[in-house]
Structure 1
Amino acid sequence: MSTDFQQARAALGARLRELRAEATGRDLALRLGWTQSKVSKLETGRQTATATDIKAWAEATGEPAAADELLARLQGLESHSRSWRRQLRAGHRPVQDALSAEYERSTDLRAWEGAMVVGLLQTPDYARAIFTRYAELHKSPRDIENAVRARMQRQDMLYEPGRTFHILMWEAALHAGVCPPSVLRAQLDRLIGVIGLDTVRLGIIPFGAAVAIPPANGFWLYDDRLAIVEDWHAELWLDDRDSLTVYRRVWDTLAHSAVYGSHANRLIGRARAHLDLA
């Protein structure tokens, strides 16, 4: 979680505490029907308030007019950190639609993924396995088929002129058993076909390659305006210049360790041969 996000959440908590005025945390908790610990966590920035929490707080403190201000603060905070718990309340399809909008707005896209094949290059069966795993993790609604369809529709952009996709993956992504072996075989075949596309430059960092920085969590860069970084609990949507500069530097640094073309093809073939021997 970014320092900017923590500071913004702490500032929101301080404003909530200010509105509480003379009431004790215990009194406010009783009015709201909450635990006292929830009031404390919201005020100290250890928990992020929901829009419903914000409105209830404004009413309970006798400051209903403050709700709009608080909601604006919350919206600004969430523009940077979007928790999976909140994003997936309606399932995975809305998340995919939001990402598709960002792809549509972009012409030069860069991705890094160390743990699995990037979504834009996934087969339907591989995507289905990934969505199922994450639905289980986050206990989210199972709209798996709708999410798969949305992801496959987005892949049409790979064949549209005017966009370039620079994609980096660690060799580990070729071996990760996140799906049945038969599905992974088909996925690896798909990657071999992608190498010939003129809109895609696929680089793979081999096991044992010297890397200037440790490969870490996956992210996408959309032109020079947005970075979307994935973590277990949330996505970070970053549009400030300093953050974008760091993530572009990370991408460029990793790219120096990658192989392309026939060399990448051999790594994919090696992963497929390993599956055939298993």
Structure 2
Amino acid sequence: MATSPSSSAQAQRDRVARRLRDLRADAGLTGTELAARCGWTHPKTSRLENGRTPPSPDDIRRWCRACDAEDQAPDIIAQSRDAESAYVEWRRQVRTGLRRLQDSYVDLYRATSLFRIYSPTLVPGVLQTEGYARGILSGVAELYEAPNDVDEAAAARMERSKIVHEPGHRFVMVIEEAVLKHQMGDSDAMAAQLGYLLTAGALPSVSLGIIPTTVQRTLWPQELFHVYDDQMVSVELMSARVRVTQPTEVALYVTAFERLRGMAVYGAEARALILRAIEQLR
């Protein structure tokens, strides 16, 4: 994929910076003059209007006041907050516990009609069993040094996953065959998870494709991502979740998803891969 997953967030920051730069130019101020009016150094002005440092709400208010454009401050502050919410570090999201992170997705799930999910490493959250989810979340809590509320978080994930049985939602999911081999939790938990995939793949609202390791690829494995309708993509990186909303970037992910989906097997062929993975656990 030619685009960095964080480029949408940076593009939003750049738009805020350009708006500040335009305000200064329209006011006929040099960078040094604006810095003097705001009470900071010229290098800070340069960093803000070139998108190298995100402005605080106070920075924006001072900037607009210096440019005689105080009425524009609330709108620019809101735009800046949107830009910063596009890239959210996992450490920030889990610092109050994993249960709250699970609950934070509920409204988005309920508002989405079509989910497209690609995962190269893990069973998608909506198809996870409790034991498998607990294995993943235990690792998350340890890696990010988060409060250990794993049992509550796993239960919340199970509650959230009931959406696959509710009308008005469709789930098209593609996973790599390697997902079936990555053991999360003990052997019993993994066997239960693989067994559930055999059942879940037959749900009316679910299309589950598996890309075999032997397939001739037309696209290399990608980062884990979710497409919510055609409006937003959530990309999961090691350090952060990136929210992509630029239409051209969303379209790129949809195109990539369709290419990945075209390499997957379904039905009896997919079940055979799952059964083989279950046999290898013994």
Cα 1:77–1:207 shift into 2, 3 Å? same
The Cα offsets for residues 146-169 of structure 1, whole Å up to 9 and x where unpaired, read as 321221012211112222111110
CA distance in 2, matches of 1:179, 1:47: 41
CA contact (8 A) 1:91 1:140 kept: yes
CA distance in 2, matches of 1:272, 1:169: 16
Query: What is the aligned partner in structure 2 of residue 268 from structure 1?
Result: 274
Query: What is the aligned partner in structure 2 of residue 33 from structure 1?
Result: none
Query: What is the aligned partner in structure 2 of residue 6 from structure 1?
Result: 10
After superposition, residues 1-278 of structure 1 pair within 5 angstroms as 1-9=5-13, 21-22=35-36, 54=56, 71-276=77-282
Aligned residue identity for 1:156: K
Cα 1:77–1:59 shift into 2, 3 Å? closer
Cα 1:42–1:177 shift into 2, 3 Å? farther
User: Aligned to 1:139, what secondary structure does the other structure show?
Assistant: coil
Aligned residue identity for 1:262: A
Aligned residue identity for 1:189: G
Q: Shift of the alpha carbon at 1:79?
A: 3.5
CA distance in 2, matches of 1:259, 1:58: 52
User: Aligned to 1:130, what secondary structure does the other structure show?
Assistant: helix
CA contact (8 A) 1:25 1:40 kept: no
Q: How many correspondences in the alignment?
A: 262
Aligned residue identity for 1:21: A
TM-score (norm 2): 0.79
Cα 1:182–1:69 shift into 2, 3 Å? same
The Cα offsets for residues 160-201 of structure 1, whole Å up to 9 and x where unpaired, read as 222211111000011113322221111111111112211111
The Cα offsets for residues 242-276 of structure 1, whole Å up to 9 and x where unpaired, read as 11211110110001110111111110111111111
Cα 1:233–1:47 shift into 2, 3 Å? farther
Query: What is the aligned partner in structure 2 of residue 36 from structure 1?
Result: none
User: Aligned to 1:155, what secondary structure does the other structure show?
Assistant: helix
The Cα offsets for residues 57-89 of structure 1, whole Å up to 9 and x where unpaired, read as 67999x798985664243121242222232223
User: Aligned to 1:256, what secondary structure does the other structure show?
Assistant: helix
RMSD of aligned residue pairs (Cα, Å): 3.2
Query: What is the aligned partner in structure 2 of residue 35 from structure 1?
Result: none
Query: What is the aligned partner in structure 1 of residue 27 from structure 2?
Result: none
Cα 1:55–1:110 shift into 2, 3 Å? closer
Unaligned runs of 5+ in 1: 29-38
* Runs (4+) off by over 6 Å: 39-44, 58-61, 63-67
Percent identity among equivalent residues? 31
User: Aligned to 1:252, what secondary structure does the other structure show?
Assistant: helix
Cα 1:140–1:197 shift into 2, 3 Å? same
CA distance in 2, matches of 1:118, 1:106: 16
